[in-house]
Chains A and B, each alone.
Chain A
Amino acid sequence: AQTVTQSQPEMSVQEAETVTLSCTYDTSENNYYLFWYKQPPSRQMILVIRQEAYKQQNATENRFSVNFQKAAKSFSLKISDSQLGDTAMYFCAFMKHGEGSRLTFGEGTQLTVNP
């Protein structure tokens, strides 16, 4: 079974600054995918960024980037130039390769961006 751990229940950052959210996972799989999802107070879960485990290059989506360390089973999310709209709960999630694979989520990190 896979487990995902987010050790920071809450984080805060000033607008325009950079913040890093941590995530570690445990798996015996070699082929898998990792995701960061954002859940604003409205509850709609939105995909922020994804990483394929077989790719060494870290994924980047505009202000969002990841630091993927496969050997250490670490997958952190960096948000640059933080904006007020980034305030949300962020979930790290794991999916093993294969048909119909479910997402396994961490406990979440509540990020607050302060003006």
Chain B
Amino acid sequence: GAGVSQSPRYKVAKRGQDVALRCDPISGHVSLFWYQQALGQGPEFLTYFQNEAQLDKSGLPSDRFFAERPEGSVSTLKIQRTQQEDSAVYLCASSLVSGGSNEQFFGPGTRLTVL
């Protein structure tokens, strides 16, 4: 079956622009995570959904970052008024159920460059 997909794969934005990044998790996966990966670093947690409920958004770096998963499937990460420090790869991951050692399956990421 299909894995986690993300679009676009690459996004270039001018500082101050709004961007929207899409994640299509594996069908039937309850949990969905967003991570931010700066160049040469490990991914860092942004937010977590269980179905349509956003249960943890403690990793979002500012109120310019907003995520939603309205129907419990596709998720969108929106960044308003982008800044240069927002440049990173944004990774989405999904898992069948929450908790335990359930494997998180990662998408290919969206590389965001803010000029």
Contact = CB atoms under 8 A, between A and B. Distances in A.
Contact of A47 (B44, B99, B103): B103
A33 B50 contact: no
Nearest to A47: B103
Interface residues of B, number: 27
Interface stretch (B16-24, B63-71, B77-85, B105-113): B105-113
B101 A102 contact: no
B31 A100 contact: yes
A4 B45 CA distance: 13
A100 B104 contact: no
A84 interface: no
Interface residues of A, number: 26
Given A52-B101, A105-B42, A106-B42, A100 B106 contact: no
Nearest to B35: A103
A45 interface: yes
Interface in A86-115: 91, 93, 95, 97-108
Contacts of B45: 102-104
Interface of B: 31, 33, 35, 40-45, 48, 50, 55-56, 59, 89, 91, 93, 98-101, 103-104, 106-109
Given A93-B42, A100-B98, A101-B99, 20 more contacts: A4-B42, A43-B108, A44-B106, A45-B93, A46-B106, A50-B103, A99-B50, A99-B98, A100-B48, A100-B55, A101-B98, A102-B48, A102-B56, A102-B59, A103-B33, A103-B43, A105-B43, A105-B44, A106-B42, A107-B40
